[in-house]
Structure 1
Amino acid sequence: MGTSFDDWQHRIDAVWQDRALSDEDRITRIDALAAELGADHPVALFERAGARDSAGREAEAEPLYRRAIERGLDDGRRARATIQLASTIRNLGKVDEALALLEAERARGSADLRDELAAFTALTLVSAGDPVRAVSLALTALAPHLTHYSRSVAGYAAELAKG
């Protein structure tokens, strides 16, 4: 994906950064830019899904995320699309599937988004009725970032995980 794609991505990023846009304006602008790549381009589908998801239109976002993943995204976008799809379907009441998607993504070893995966897995665990496991996972992700008490917090997280 050469310079023209880089320019396209820059224009997409500018739409996301424009806080003055309404949700509907953002969707309209993203859709117009996505059309430049074509209806079935995986990155275009991913951006269209994100715009709808961000606007609270999860039912519209879900099939777009699924198609984007099926059509093939680079590893970074695939991980982001999986996290976003899992969050979307959690909001739509598909908690078990959301958890399975997040666990599969973690098993792939998405190191760049390890903390993000932990955060959304914790949210999903709360939705699944397992808040203790959710807190354990969140504390485990947080512990390495602490200036003090990292070892203690990691130990407490492990105790919670054991029950």
Structure 2
Amino acid sequence: MDDWQDRVDTVWADDTLTETQVIDAIDALAAERPEDDAVALFERAGARDSAGLESEAEDLYRRALALGLDDERRTRATIQLASTIRNLGKVDESLALLRAEYEREPRGPLHDAAAAFYALALVSAGEAERAASLALVALAPHLPRYTRSVTGYAREIADGHA
């Protein structure tokens, strides 16, 4: 699978390809795998998602997740599905998926990505202050200074005291 994934990664890295060419190339690579290959479905979903074809991507993400993905791809697929369905107006489901992902692995490598998309979904749900608090909490550890202050202010926003 490493050679296959390398070829997929090469498609994603090729800035000269149009969105349609990316979809075609990913679909051609996916055709090399079994029809129920979760990773191939995930890659096909991502190609459509990045091309703005959210409705097509949604089903593929759901199938990939149902079939089972390794932990990193499962996290990525959950975040990407949640973002996709938020764009399709399914904000409540998006919030539920992102909240679960955000709370699942506080020290995971994609935790901040989950926080960012959770914050976007909160904004879509009309909870901008809660979104700002969440985003600031995720940002604070990356600051060269003021981590404690920004974290404290973020908590004040969340508590309604800012």
> TM tier, shorter chain?
over 0.9
Mapped to 1, the partners of 2:87 and 2:133 lie a distance apart of: 22
Counterpart among 116, 133, 136 of residue 119 in structure 1: 116
Pairing 1:99–2:95 present = yes
Counterpart among 128, 141, 144 of residue 144 in structure 1: 141
Residues 83-98 of structure 1: matches in 2 within 5 Å? 83-98=79-94
Mapped to 1, the partners of 2:76 and 2:52 lie a distance apart of: 17
Structure 1 portions without partners, runs of 5+: none
Secondary structure class of the residue paired with 2:110: helix
Deviation at residue 151 of structure 1 after TM alignment: 0.8
Q: Give, as a single letter, the amino acid of the residue that structure 1 aligns with 2:104.
A: R
Pairing 1:46–2:42 present = yes
- Normalized per residue, the structure richer in helix is 1
Residues 60-99 of structure 1: matches in 2 within 5 Å? 60-99=56-95
- Tell me which residue corresponds to 1:6: 2
Cα RMSD for the two superposed structures: 0.8
Mapped to 1, the partners of 2:96 and 2:55 lie a distance apart of: 19
Q: Which runs of 4+ in 1 moved over 2 A?
A: none
Q: Give, as a single letter, the amino acid of the residue that structure 2 aligns with 1:143.
A: A
Counterpart among 18, 21, 45 of residue 25 in structure 1: 21
Secondary structure class of the residue paired with 2:36: coil
Deviates more, 1:120-129 or 1:105-114: 105-114
Deviation at residue 107 of structure 1 after TM alignment: 3.0
Residues 148-163 of structure 1: matches in 2 within 5 Å? 148-163=145-160
Q: Give, as a single letter, the amino acid of the residue that structure 1 aligns with 2:40.
A: A
Pairing 1:130–2:127 present = yes
Deviation at residue 113 of structure 1 after TM alignment: 0.8
Mapped to 1, the partners of 2:104 and 2:155 lie a distance apart of: 22
Mapped to 2, the partners of 1:147 and 1:31 lie a distance apart of: 43
Q: Give, as a single letter, the amino acid of the residue that structure 1 aligns with 2:91.
A: V
Q: Give, as a single letter, the amino acid of the residue that structure 2 aligns with 1:132.
A: E
TM-score, reference length from structure 2:
0.96
Deviation at residue 103 of structure 1 after TM alignment: 1.3
- Equivalenced residues, count: 159
